[in-house]
Amino acid sequence: MTSRQRGSGGLKERSGSPPENTSGGLKERSGSPPENSAILDALGSVRDPELDEPITDLGFVTDVEVVQDAVRVRLRLPTYFCAPNFAYLMVSDARTAVESVPGAGRTEIVLEDHHDAEQINAGVANGLGFAGTYGGEAAGDLDRLRLMFRRKAYLARQERLARSLLDAGRTVEQLADLRIGELPDTDEARVYLQRREELGLDVGPEAFLLVDPAGVRVPAERVVATLRFAQTVRVSIEGNASFCRGMLATRYGLPTAAP
């Protein structure tokens, strides 16, 4: 068996004997098992819906085990009482992400140290969906919840990008007229375009940069007010992310990781 630590989150990658199937939800694999790095890359596409950061960067992934006939991933959250709907989304998204990796057919995602871990793990493993898992206790539509947070993430990313362009010397009027094709090729711009595409918004080179989450262009006279509101959204997201990092570090005795 081999294992290694990664970062302050204590993530371990292992290979060895198959994990015990406790959830009954493993899907048969075809082909060769994937590399651990491929599993981690896939998990890096899964974001905390409220914090708009990958669960790998947040330290929520603690163990990845890849063997000849199974993949098991262990997750943890900052507190024992993290909202079940958020937890369910991340466990479900993690399962979908891992199953998309070639060769990773038998997949189990295990949420630990959460008050509803057993219920969530069983529900995801058996494909029950959130409503099927919680029945009459389920409140709200997870798709609508996801959309709400995607809109917030979009606004925050747009504000960051717009502020960087203003700091670089663009005027408010120029910003209002700026097209996607005129954006600099930066990580900030690429992430913004990803969030924009997730909402189904136009990412073509002739599309205006500043549009609201419904795709309506922001005119020059509304740019300042729009960015001011988006800034409050961004600060809220960043504040929650910092709080969650601190809670996770306190709970598990970890060094406090920088965002």
Q: Give the length of the chain.
A: 259
CB atoms within 10 A of CB 3: 12
For helices 223-252 and 142-167, the axis angle rounded to 10 degrees is 110
pLDDT for the residue numbered 36: 83
Name the strands in the sheet holding 11-15, side by side, starting at the edge strand that comes first in the sequence: 2-6, 11-15, 61-67, 70-75, 107-111
Q: Which residue type does 251 have?
A: R
Structural domains in the chain plus CATH codes = 2-137 (3.30.300.130), 143-252 (no CATH)
Query: CA 44, CA 219: separation in Å to the nearest integer?
Result: 36
pLDDT at 85: 93
**Among 209, 115, 116, CA closest to 163:** 209
Residue 111: beta bridge partners? 75
What is the mean pLDDT of each successive set of 10 residues along the chain, which is 259 residues long?
Answer: 36 48 39 77 96 97 88 96 95 96 89 97 94 76 91 98 97 98 97 98 98 98 98 98 96 76
State residue 83's pLDDT score: 93
Rounded to the nearest 5 degrees, what angle is found at the Cα of 191, between the Cα atoms of 187 and 194? Answer: 140
What is the reported pLDDT for 258? 53
pTM: 0.84
For residue 148, which phi and psi values (nearest 5 degrees)?
A: -60, -45
pLDDT at 212: 98
188-233 pLDDT, tens digit each: 999 999 999 999 999 999 999 999 999 999 999 999 999 999 999 9
Contact by Cβ (8 Å): 238, 50: no
Which pLDDT score, from 0 to 100, does residue 135 have?
A: 84
3-class secondary-structure state, position 6: strand
